[in-house]
Amino acid sequence: MKQLIQHLQSGKTTLEEVPIPAVKNGYIVVRSIYSLVSTGTEKMLVEFSKASIINKVRQNPDRVEQVLNKISSDGLIPTLDAVFRKLEEPMPLGYCNLGVVTAVGEGVNDFKIGDRVISNGPHAEYVAVPKNLACKVPHEVSNEAAVFTVVGAIGLEAIRLAKPQLGDTVCVIGLGLIGLLTCQLLRASGCNVMAYDIDDKKIAIAKSMQIAAFNSSNIDIDAHVLEQTNNFGCDVVFIAASAKNDNLVNIAARATKKRGQVILIGVINLQLDRTEFYKKEITFQVSCSYGAGRYDDQYEIQGIDYPEAYVKWTAKRNFEAFLSCLNNNTVQTTQLITSTILFEQAPEAYAEIAAPDTVALLLKYANDYKLTAQPEQVTIKPNKPSAVTVGIIGSGNFAKATLVPILQKIGANIKYICGNDGLSAALLAKKFNIPHAVTSTDTIINDPEVNLLIIATRHDSHAALAIAGLNANKHIFVEKPIAIDLNSLEQLKAAHAQHPELIFQSGFNRRHAPLAKQLKAHIQNNPVSNIVITVNAGALPDGHWLYNKTTGGGRIVGEACHFFDLMSYFTGSTIKSVYATEAPISNQQENTIIHLTYHNGSHGTINYFANGHKKYPKEKIEVFAGNKIFMLDNFRKLYAYGANITNSLFSTQDKGHKAQFETLLQSLHSDQLSSSTFESLYNTTKATLLVEKSITTKAPQEVD
C-alpha cells in the first residue's frame, strides 16, 4: 500500500510503498475511502520542512539548550549524529480518515469487519488505529461530510472548555477549517457569533452560514468587538488562527469582557500583556486536540476508557457528538471543500496548501483494492543466502539510531525488518537496503532461513517473542529487559532449557565497551571489588510508556538493569541479594538507591537519580579493587588511582554496541556462547524485578 509522508530535511512530500499495518490488541485496521488535509497543521509541517537548518533552529529555540547539554555530556559527534538522524526521519501526514474496517484486534467488541468508521489515521491506503480513537459513522452521514469529524472535534473540545451559555456573545479569530467549524458549533449552542479573518473567500463562506464575519485587515478587532457589544466585550474569544507573534492573544484580551475567557485553538506566540489579563481577571486556556484521553497511553493504546459519569466528553465521545451534528444538519461541510484530489496525486496537490483561500482538501482513495498475496510485506530487493540470516522485530528509535546502522556496518545479512505500522519498517528497509519490510512477526519467526532473531520492541512483548523464536529454533538477541515480570521470566527460562544449544543474548552492551574491557583487565586478578555507579538519568515526560509497569516495566527494570549487568561483569560473579530504598521525590522509582551483594563477596551500589542536571555526566562508574580505584566517566574517559592509564585527547563515547554485535556474530559463526550466558541474564533480570519488593518490604531480597 502507499502512505503520504513529509521529509523534514529535504522538504519533499512523497508517497511511499509500505506494508499494510498489522492489527494489534485493541486496534482496528481500516481501508481508506477519504482523508481530509488539515491545511493549518499540515501547512505548518510542510513549511517547517522546507526551511533552512538555521530557520529550523530559530523555530525551535527550546531545542538549542537540549543540544548544548547533550554536547556537554555525550560529546559533539554523537550529538550531531543524533540531530541529523532526527531530521532524516520523515513524518507521516494526516489525522482525519474515513474508511471501512478490514481487521479487528483482540479486545475490540464495538467494531466488526465492514463497519464504516472515522479515525485519526494518517493519509494512507490502510491505517491501524486504537479503538478509542475511532467511531462508527451513521448511515445517513455522507463520506464527504464524515471525514471532517476529527478536525471538528478539535473545535468542539475548545467549546467544551469555555462552557458558553445560550445568548453569550463570542468571537472567533481565524476562519480556517477549524474556525469555520467552531463558528457553526457555537451558533448551534445558541451563541451570538462574530468572526474575523483577512481572506474574503473565507469570510464569504462564513456569511453563507449566517455567521457575522468581518475582514480584520480593514478594522481593529478589539475596537470593533467593543463597538458591537456596547463596550462590554465578548464572553469568550476563540483564537483559531496561527501566527508567529503575540498580537492575537493581546487583541483577544482587549476584546474580552471583564472576567471573560480566551481559548487558544491555533498556534501563536504567548507573550501575554499582563495588565489586560490582570485588570479584567481574564481566564486563558489552551485547548488540547480533540478531547480527554488524547496523548494518554492508557486511553489510546491500552483502550481503557474514562467512566462517562466522571469524564463525559472523551475524544471518542466528541467524535460521536460531531457526527450527530452532521446527521441533523447542524453543521455544514459542503462549502468548506476547496477541492477533491485522487490520493495518487497528493504530493503534487500539496502545493495548494500554501494558497491562502484553501479551506479543506479531500483525498479520495481507489474503490477497488486488489491485495497482493502478502499485504503485510514490501520487498525492496532479493535476499542473499548467508550462514547467519537476521530478522529484526521492531523499527523504533533504537533500531533506527543504533541497531540497523551497526549491523549494516559490520556486514550482517538482514533479511527482514518488522514494524507494526509498516511505515517505519519500510523507510528503514529502503534506507539500509534490507530485502523485506513486514508488519507480521510470524513472517519472520516462521521463515527457516532466519536463524538469528533480534527483538527490539516495547518491553512487554520481549519475553513472548523470545519464546516464540526459541520454539522456532532461532538464536535470540532481545533488547533489555528480557522480561518485565517474574512469571514471564520463568516461562522464558523453561523455553530456553528446551533449547540450550541456542545462543541467547540481551542488549547489555556496556560490558562490551572498550573502556569497560580495559577496566576489567586491570581488576581481573582481584575479583572481589566494591562498585559505585551513579546514573544521572533525568526525568522522562509525564505519561512516558516506560513508567507503565505493564508495558515498560518501570525505569529500574527497563533501564537500570544495564548497571546490574555491568556490575556482574566487573565482579565476575552473580547477584546474591538486592536491597533498595526510594527517595520520596516521585512515585516512578526514578530516585532509587540499590545495594547488591555478590556470591564472591563483592558489593555494589547503584544511585539511579532523575533529579539532577543535564550538564552533569549521565553515567559515572567507580570501582575499588586491589588497592586501586578506577573511575569510568560516561564511557568517554577512564581514570585510575594506583594504575597507569592514558586517555586519548579526542576520545568519543563508546558504550559497546558495535562490539556487542560483532561478538554475537562471531559466536554464531563458531557456535560458541559469548560472554553473557542465559544464566547471567536470568540472575540480572530477577534482581531488577525484586527491587520493587525490597522497597515495599524495606528488606533485602534473596535472588537465589
pLDDT tens digit sequence for 558-599: 999 999 999 999 999 999 999 999 887 666 678 999 999 999
Q: What is the pLDDT of residues 77-93, one digit of tens each?
A: 555 566 555 656 778 89
DSSP 399: I
pLDDT of residue 272: 85
- Which grid coordinates are listed for 104? 479487528
Give yes or no for residue 557 having a pLDDT over 70: yes
Find the mean pLDDT for residues 29-55: 72
| Banded model confidence at residue 373, pLDDT cuts 50, 70, 90 | very low
Task: Answer for the pair 492, 482: CB distance below 8 angstroms, yes or no.
Answer: yes
At residue 139 the predicted structure's pLDDT band, cuts being 50, 70 and 90, is: very high
DSSP sequence for 158-186: HHHHH---TT-EEEEE--SHHHHHHHHHH
Q: Please tell me the least confidently modeled range out of 86-95, 181-190, 195-204, 261-270.
A: 86-95
Beta-bridged to residue 130, according to DSSP, are 27
Integer CA distances (angstroms), 296 to 260, 293, 367, 424, 546, in order: 30, 5, 34, 22, 13
Q: How confident is the model at residue 56 (pLDDT cuts 50, 70, 90)?
A: very low
DSSP 347: H
Decide if 474 contacts 504 (C-beta within 8 A): no
Average pLDDT of the segment spanning 310-322: 96
Indicate if the pLDDT at residue 268 is higher than 90.
Answer: no
Q: Give the pLDDT mean for 21-29.
A: 92
CA distances 150 to 36, 44, 155, 223, 433, Å, are 9, 18, 9, 34, 37
Residue 554, SS3? helix
Instruction: Specify the amino acid at residue 339.
Output: S
Average pLDDT, integer, range 282-298: 91
Is residue 42 pLDDT above 80, yes or no?
no
pLDDT score at 348: 82
Q: Specify the pLDDT at position 667.
A: 85
Q: What is the pLDDT of residue 584?
A: 72
Query: For the segment 467-488, what is each residue's pLDDT rounded down to a tens digit?
Result: 999 999 999 999 999 999 999 9
Closest to 579 (Cα-Cα) out of 566, 554, 596, 564: 596
Q: How far apart are CA 649 and CA 274, in angstroms?
A: 52
Give me the amino acid identity at 425. Answer: A
Helices assigned H by DSSP within 75-213: 76-88, 143-146, 149-162, 177-188, 200-208
pLDDT at residue 266, rounded to an integer: 86
Domains, in order of start, for the chain = 2-148+333-364 (3.90.180.10), 152-286 (3.40.50.720), 386-502 (3.40.50.720), 509-702 (3.30.360.10)
User: Can you tell me the mean pLDDT for 217-244?
Assistant: 91
- More confident of the two residues 283 and 646: 283
How far apart CA 72 and CA 78 sit, in angstroms, is 11
The pLDDT-based confidence of 656 (bands split at 50, 70, 90) is very high
C-alpha of 499 from chain center: 35
The neighbouring-strand residues paired with 172 are 195, 238
Contact indicator for 486, 701 with CB cutoff of 8 Å = no
pLDDT above 90: residue 366: no
**Is pLDDT of 76 > 60?**
no
Q: Are 542 and 461 in contact (CB under 8 A)?
A: no
Overall pTM surpassing 0.75 (yes/no): yes
Q: How confident is the model at residue 649 (pLDDT cuts 50, 70, 90)?
A: low
Give the whole-number percent of the chain exceeding pLDDT 70: 88
Q: What is the per-residue pLDDT for 246?
A: 79
**For residue 245, how many other CB atoms are within 10 A of its CB?**
10
Q: What is the DSSP letter of 356?
A: T
For 437, residues 6+ apart whose C-beta sits below 8 A from its C-beta are 18, 19, 377, 378, 380, 416, 417, 418, 419, 422, 425, 426, 428, 429, 430
Give the pLDDT confidence of 92-113 residue by residue, as tens digits.
899 999 999 999 999 999 999 9
The tens digit of pLDDT for each residue in 329-360 reads 999 999 999 999 999 998 887 766 666 778 89
Which contacts qualify for 200-205: CB closer than 8 Å, 24 or more apart?
Answer: 201/357, 202/175, 202/176, 202/357, 202/359, 203/175, 205/175, 205/180, 205/335, 205/336, 205/359
Q: Give the residue carrying C-alpha cell 501563536.
A: 268
Question: What pLDDT is recorded for position 79?
Answer: 58
Tens digits of residue pLDDT in 512-527: 999 999 999 999 888 7
% pLDDT > 90, the chain = 69
Region for residue 303 given its phi and psi (left: phi exceeds 0; alpha: psi -120 to 50; beta: otherwise) = left
At 341, phi and psi to the nearest 5? -125, 140
